[in-house]
Amino acid sequence: MAPRKNLTVLLLATAVALTACSGGGASTPAAGGRTLVIDTSFDLKTADPGRMYEATGLFVGKAVYETLLTFEGGDVTKPVPALAESYTLSDDGKVLTLKLRSGAKFSDGSPLTADDVVFSLTRLRDMKGNPSFLLAGVEVAKTDDSTITLTSKTPNPALPYILPNPTLGILNSKVAKEHGATTDDKDKAEQYLNTTSAGSGPYTIESFNVSNQVVLRANKKYYGDKPAYDKVVIRNVEAATQKLNVQRGDSQVALNLSGDQAKGMSPAVQVKRTASANVIYLHHSRNKALSKVTSNPKFVEAVRKGVDYKGLLELAGEGSVQAPGIIPSQLLGALPPDQAPRRDVAGAKAALAASGLKNPKVELEYPSELTVNGLSLQPLAERIQSNLKEVGITVDLAPAPLTTAADNYRNGKEEMGLWYWGPDHPDPTGYLVFLPGQMVGERLGWKAGADKKLEAAGEKAAAAVGEEARKQAFADVQTQLNTTGPYVPLIQPGQNIVTAASVTGLEYHPVWTVDIADLGVK
């Protein structure tokens, strides 16, 4: 199933879309400077960093608020300094110490302090908003005016990878408190933060509407490199209209085109194609009371060997890649492409014979109206149905509305499901939920103790410290998961971003999609 931030994508994608309007050409200075118009399908609820966890909110938050650490471009394998000039993780992985840089200022000109950091992170954790889980069990303390420590009871090497998330943006605590911000669930600052910036980022909020449009203005008191665009207009526009707008110059960026829509574009635009961080996969219930078919490991092996992965990639279009494991290619610990399974019909038939199942029939459920990076799950399901028929497996397709399918998945009622998962944060620890006894494993009836070797590998990976040790540990988990687990990773669909030829500096990022402040102009 999709992570928290993706659960609302479909519901908000049907919001009223704006038709094309004059957005101001990127190469033509508008009053007060250059204007950049970005078209996207809104997945947006709030501008409050302590509550935001939706895709559009994250890239708005990235522009308005700064975090202690960040990532360079689209590389999520190594956190780099931001508001913190340096950081160290203790040998046991429990204490993260950060030294704050000097000179950082909020948009009202006041200095950013260690007290602002402690307040902001404590508020996020204790307000019990959607992203509070990111700092669950983490104690935040000020050691001195330039030092912050984050202490966990158990090894937490994922923390440096979590801190760049825009939900951990640092608030001007004085201003926020004046407008109802607290460090408990009685916080009432959201309404204010939806209209006014209280951050230190390169942009400030001019207007904010969750259905139609967000307008940002360059922060005149920003202490860092000034952004290239004085004004950024982010509009809620359906994908087909996004394509029209960017080709005729009514916008300069289109974020949500499918591989097919991004074909045959005008020479006046640029297309950035890359694999998204979303992994589309099959899962099989291990609950024998629900299914004697899918709970048979040899049946899952037959499915894994029977799927035509190359055919699925053809359906997915340009930019998509096969997923060798459940962890996407951009993250630490991802398996290399040469470890991805290949179709082996003879091997699939042999595994099915070894299962002892005669002419098995299964029901494959998936959300009928959900699209992932512009890709519908329906043609994928139909292709899988056809692939497995060649093996001797009958698949009955069971498309369902998103809410129905999601409820069945969460309540462990799906015999076989076709879903996707994207990173809550760019660290492989978020994928340990797929193991026995963990959240996704439990939903499939895969109880703790069902695979002790794999569970031990998961515990080792969770506690591993150091890039190389963690990389190997998570690769080991996936290798075992691909052999004994109830999952079949399929593809990472393409992320296609179209920009005007005048726009420079665009890099796709799996958490905030685009860093607006990195965008330049020729």
What is the span of the domain harbouring residue 240? 1-63+201-275+495-522
C-alpha gyration radius of the chain: 23
The answer to whether residue 441 is domain-embedded is yes
C-alpha to C-alpha distance for 290 and 153, rounded to whole angstroms: 38
pLDDT at 250: 96
Rounded Cα gap, residues 393 and 198, in angstroms: 57
pLDDT at 491: 97
CATH number at residue 233: 3.40.190.10
The dihedral built from the CA positions of residue 439, 443, 447 and 451, taken in this order, carries a sign that is: negative
User: Domains in the chain: how many in total?
Assistant: 3
- Distance, CA of 77 to CA of 461 (rounded, Å): 16
The DSSP bridge pattern shows strands 279-284 and 503-504 to be: unpaired
DSSP state of 95: E
Identify whether residues 311 and 457 lie together within a single domain. Answer: yes
436: nearest Cα among 455, 416, 423: 455
181 CA to centre of own chain: 27
Measured distance CA(460)–CA(476) in Å, rounded: 10
One domain for residues 439 and 300: yes
Residue 193, in any domain of the structure:
no
Whole-number Å distance between alpha carbons of 63 and 215: 11
Residue 370 shares a structural domain with residue 257: no
Per the domain annotation, does 196 fall within a domain?
Answer: no
Give the pLDDT of residue 258: 82
Q: Is residue 522 part of a domain?
A: yes
List the pLDDT tens digit at each of the 522 positions of the chain: 444 334 333 333 333 333 333 333 444 444 457 999 999 988 889 999 999 988 899 999 999 999 999 999 888 888 999 999 999 999 999 999 999 999 999 999 999 999 999 999 999 999 988 899 899 999 999 999 999 999 999 999 999 999 999 999 999 999 999 999 999 999 999 999 999 999 999 999 999 999 899 999 999 999 999 999 999 999 999 888 999 999 999 999 999 888 888 888 888 899 999 999 999 999 999 999 999 999 999 999 999 999 999 999 999 988 899 999 999 999 999 999 999 999 999 999 999 999 999 999 999 999 987 778 878 899 999 999 999 999 999 999 999 998 899 899 989 999 999 999 988 788 999 899 999 999 999 999 999 999 999 999 999 999 898 889 999 999 999 999 999 999 999 999 999 999 999 999 999 998 899 999 999 998
Q: Are residues 85 and 57 in the same domain?
A: no
**Which residues, other chains included, contact 220 with Cβ-Cβ below 8 Å and sequence gap of 6+?**
none
Phi, psi of 418 (to 5 degrees): -120, 110
How many other CB atoms sit within 10 Å of the CB of residue 221? 12
Question: Is residue 59, in this structure, part of any structural domain at all?
Answer: yes
Same domain, 458 and 341: yes
Q: Is residue 195 part of a domain?
A: no
Domain assignment of residue 348, yes or no: yes
Alpha-carbon torsion, ordered 68, 461, 133, 54, to 10 deg: 70
Same-domain status, 137 and 209: no
Q: Do 57 and 142 reside in the same domain of the chain? A: no
| CA quadruple 44, 49, 52, 53: dihedral sign | positive
Give me the CATH number covering residue 158.
Answer: 3.90.76.10
Domain boundary pick from 188, 211, 229: 188
**Over 21-36, what HEC string results?**
CCCCCCCCEECCEEEE
The Cα 64–Cα 214 span in angstroms is: 12
In this structure, are 268 and 323 located in the same domain? no
pTM for the model: 0.80
DSSP per residue over 111-176, as a string? BP-HHHHHHHHHHHHHTT-TTGGGGTTEEEEEEETTEEEEEESS--TTHHHHTTSGGGPPP-HHHH
> Cα dihedral angle (402, 408, 410, 414), rounded to 10 degrees?
-110
292 and 424 fall within a common domain: yes
Of 188, 217, 244, the domain-final residue: 188
E strand or H helix at 477: helix 467-484
Cα distances (Å, whole numbers) of residue 99 to 33, 79, 146, 157, 384:
35, 14, 6, 18, 52
Say which CATH number the domain at 384 has: 3.10.105.10
User: What single letter denotes the amino acid at residue 377?
Assistant: L
User: Are 355 and 393 in a shared domain?
Assistant: yes
Report yes or no on 154 lying in a domain.
yes
- Same structural domain, 343 and 434: yes
